[in-house]
């Protein structure tokens, strides 16, 4: 792989720390069940944990944070849990909009919005517009997101461009421009909590050269200190991108 291509794959800094971290926030339901509480209690506690991690990121040297909030497969869960999750998303946006904006956080969403409630879609669009000029931290929330679904939608967009004559010889960069994450740097590090070691259809294109860290800690228990330790270990890894 050419050196310039390898450099484009990472946002990691000279200090060896990742600049873009993606997190599969797993274990909310299990955390609550272990305590004899309804699963939604775990999801609410998980939302509180998101706020703590977001606030810690700039001090940890993280400029981009992408979190997996709701997958395309999560619709298979009970109606009660799905509706409860959507309510938590709405409350998070409504309550955090002003504070995120004041703290310099730019919030964006990836995933298929068409299946979401129109009121939630409107809230999402409003906070994206409100925080568009912020640069201290780029926060991306994946909601109704699936990597295969994203790639299928991107391929369809690219096919339309080819049909219109906008692209004549489509390649990787053309497809990348059609992804939900167009313009975002690829993640340097993907963290999954709760002890599971699956990637679960999360950023398959973008994380092709990312490092992975699987921690047994359930998401509601995942503190900024846990994250700091993982970031320190990341600095010990050697990333060659196919080189020697």
Compute CA distances 179 → 19, 103, 204, 205, 217, whole Å. 20, 28, 11, 9, 31
For the cut 70, the answer to whether the pLDDT of residue 181 exceeds it is yes
Residue 77 is assigned to a ligand binding site:
yes
pLDDT value, residue 3: 34
**Of 182, 184, 153, 154, which is closest to residue 66 (Cα–Cα)?**
184
165 part of a folded domain: yes
For the cut 60, the answer to whether the pLDDT of residue 131 exceeds it is yes
pLDDT value, residue 126: 95
176 part of a folded domain: yes
Give pLDDT tens digits for 75-96: 999 999 999 999 999 999 998 8
**Of 200, 166, 207, which is closest to residue 70 (Cα–Cα)?**
200
Contacts of 106 (CB under 8 A, 6+ apart): 131, 132, 133, 134, 135, 137, 138, 139
**What residues are annotated to the active site?**
26, 74
15 part of a folded domain: no
144 part of a folded domain: yes
Residue 27 is assigned to a ligand binding site:
yes
pTM above 0.85, yes or no: yes
1 part of a folded domain: no
pLDDT value, residue 15: 67
For the cut 60, the answer to whether the pLDDT of residue 14 exceeds it is no
Residue 200 is assigned to a ligand binding site:
yes
Range of the domain at 199: 21-234
Confidence of residue 4 (pLDDT cuts 50, 70, 90): very low
Q: What is the CATH number of the domain that holds 89?
A: 3.40.1180.10
Q: How many domains does the chain have?
A: 1
Residue 192 is assigned to a ligand binding site:
yes
Residue 238 is assigned to a ligand binding site:
no
The pLDDT of 8-20, averaged and rounded, is 68
Contacts of 170 (CB under 8 A, 6+ apart): 158, 161, 162
Give pLDDT tens digits for 189-220: 999 999 999 999 999 999 999 999 999 999 99
9 part of a folded domain: no
Give pLDDT tens digits for 225-234: 999 999 999 9
196 part of a folded domain: yes
The pLDDT of 176-181, averaged and rounded, is 98
């Amino acid at each position: 792989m050419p050196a310039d291509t390898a450099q484009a794959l990472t946002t990691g800094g000279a200090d060896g720390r990742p600049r873009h971290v993606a997190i599969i926030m797993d274990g909310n339901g299990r955390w609550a069940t272990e305590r004899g509480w309804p699963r939604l209690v775990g999801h609410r506690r998980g939302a509180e944990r998101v706020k703590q991690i977001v606030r810690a990121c700039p001090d940890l040297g993280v400029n981009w944070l992408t979190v997996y909030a709701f997958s395309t497969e999560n619709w298979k869960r009970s109606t009660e849990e799905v509706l409860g999750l959507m309510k938590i998303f709405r409350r998070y946006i409504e309550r955090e909009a002003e504070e995120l904006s004041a703290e310099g956080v730019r919030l964006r969403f990836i995933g298929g919005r068409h299946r979401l409630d129109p009121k939630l879609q409107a809230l999402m669009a409003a906070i994206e517009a409100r925080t568009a000029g912020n640069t201290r931290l780029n926060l991306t929330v994946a909601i109704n997101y699936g990597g295969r679904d994203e790639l299928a939608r991107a391929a369809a967009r690219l096919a339309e461009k080819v049909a219109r004559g906008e692209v004549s010889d489509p390649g990787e960069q053309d497809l990348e421009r059609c992804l939900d994450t167009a313009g975002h740097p690829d993640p340097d590090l993907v963290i999954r909590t709760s002890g599971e070691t699956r990637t679960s259809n999360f950023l398959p294109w973008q994380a092709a050269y990312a490092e992975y860290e699987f921690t047994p800690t359930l998401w509601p228990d995942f503190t900024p200190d846990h994250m700091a330790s993982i970031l320190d270990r990341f600095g010990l890894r050697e990333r060659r991108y196919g080189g020697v």
